Amino acid sequence: MSIDFLISTLNSVENPKRINRNKAANIVLEHTELIEDLVNLTFRTEDKISIKAAWILEWICTHHGIDHLLPYIETFVNNIKNIHFDGVLRTCAKMCEHLAIAFDDKLPNNTKETLTNNHIDTIIETGFDWLITDQKIAVKAYTMTTLFLFGKHRDWVHSELEHIIKTKVIHESKGCEARGKKILALIHKRNNS
C-alpha cells in the first residue's frame, strides 16, 4: 500500500466520530506498513491532513496498544514540539500520556525498553511548554498526568509541575482546576510516603 492510499483513506474520514476513526484504523492495521506514513503525516504541520492522521494514530495507540508507535518514537518525540493544530496537539498529548503510563508500569514492557532518557526529557520539556502556553483543557490535562508519571523518574519534575499548577494552570478553567488538584494530591501523597 502507498501513502496515496493512506491519504485517500484519511480523506474519507469526515469527522472524528468513533465509527470513522475505527474504520480507518482497521484499514491501517491491515497494512501495518502504513503506520510509518501515518506518523509522518501527523507531523505535516502546515497540512490539515495531519489532524486526521493524528486522530487515527491516537485511536490505534489507545485501542490497539502504544507499541504501534514505538518503532517511530524518534519521529514522534522529535516533532511533537512543532505541532500547532489543536486536534494534533490533543492527540499527541494523549499519546504522551500513554507512553508515560506504560513507562511507569511495574511490569517489563516494550515502552520501557524503547524510551531513552533523551526521549523522556524531550517529552517532559514539550509538556512544560504546553502547560505554560495557551492550550486546550484536554492537552493540559493529559500533560499534567504525563509529567506526574515521568516525574516519578526525574526528581526535579514534581516541584516544577506543582509550581506551574498552583500559579497558572489551576486558575485557567474548571477542567484544569479539577485535574490540577488531582495531580497536586498525587504529588503530596508521593512526597509524604
| Helical (H) or strand (E) element with 52 | helix 49-64
pLDDT tens profile 108-135: 999 999 999 999 999 999 999 999 999 9
CA distances from 76 to 79, 88, 99, 137 (A): 5, 12, 11, 22
Of all residues in the chain, the percent with pLDDT exceeding 70 is 99
Give the percent of the chain with pLDDT over 90: 80
Contact 24, 56 (CB under 8 A): yes
33, pLDDT greater than 90: yes
In the structure, what pLDDT confidence band is assigned to residue 147 with cuts at 50, 70 and 90? very high
In whole angstroms, what is the distance from residue 85 CA to residue 100 CA? 22
Cell of 140: 493540559
pLDDT on residue 1: 67
pLDDT digits (tens, 9 = 90+) for 77-96: 999 999 999 999 999 999 99
Cα–Cα dist 18/25, whole Å? 10
Averaged over 101-108, what is the pLDDT? 97
**SS3 of 73, please?**
helix
Rounded distance, CA 191 to CA 185, Å?
Answer: 10
pTM above 0.85, yes or no: yes
User: Which residue type sits at 165?
Assistant: I
Q: Taking 90 as the threshold, does the pLDDT of residue 192 lie above it? A: no
